[in-house]
Amino acid sequence: MHLDSVTVEGGDAVENLLADHFRSVYVSERDDLLSPCRKTTILSNVDWTITENEILSKLKSLSDNHSSGPDGIPNSLLKHCCSSMVKPLQIQFRKIYSKNEIPLYWKESYVTAVFKSGHKSDAKNYRSINISNCISQVFESIICDKITPV
C-alpha cells in the first residue's frame, strides 16, 4: 500500500497509512456557517420533546442489513423489539437532553476503509465510513428531524 512516496506492508502499517490519509482529507464541521443569532432563532423554535411515536417510527425504519457499532447492538434487535424498547429509550433520551450530555460510548465508532476505484495499492483510492452505535443514530436522526426545516 502506498500514499504519495510512502510505501508500507503489513496490517498495522497499512492501517496507520490509511488513518493518516483519512485524517488529511477530513473536514471538520464548520460552526461558523450560521451566525449565533440565526442559530438561536432556529433552535428556540424547536419542540425538543421526544415522543414515543417518534422513537417507534425510527426503530421500525431501521435497516436489518447494517453492521453493529462498538456497542454490539444490531439494528435488527431494536427493530424487532421496538415496542419493548420505546419507553427505555425515551427515558434515556430525556436524560441526555436534561443533562445536556451525550454518553461517551455513543461517541465511539469503527472506521472502515472502502475501496472506490483505481489501483487498490493506492491509499487515495479509499474512502472512510464511520460505523457508530445504532441507539445514538436513532437519537441523532430524531434531533435532525426536529432542526431540519420541512
pLDDT exceeding 70 applies to what percent of the chain?
87
* Predicted pLDDT at 39: 47
* Predicted pLDDT at 74: 92
Task: Encode pLDDT of 76-121 as tens digits.
Answer: 999 999 999 999 999 999 999 888 888 888 888 888 899 999 999 9
Task: Encode pLDDT of 57-66 as tens digits.
Answer: 999 999 988 8
For the cut 70, the answer to whether the pLDDT of residue 23 exceeds it is: yes
The DSSP line for the chain is -EETTEE--SHHHHHHHHHHHHHHH-----GGGS-HHHHHHHHHT---PPPHHHHHHHHHT--TTSPP-TT---HHHHHHTHHHHHHHHHHHHHHHHHHT---GGGG-EEEEEEE-SS-TTBGGGEEEEEEE-HHHHHHHHHHHHHHS--
Mean pLDDT to the nearest integer, 22-31: 72
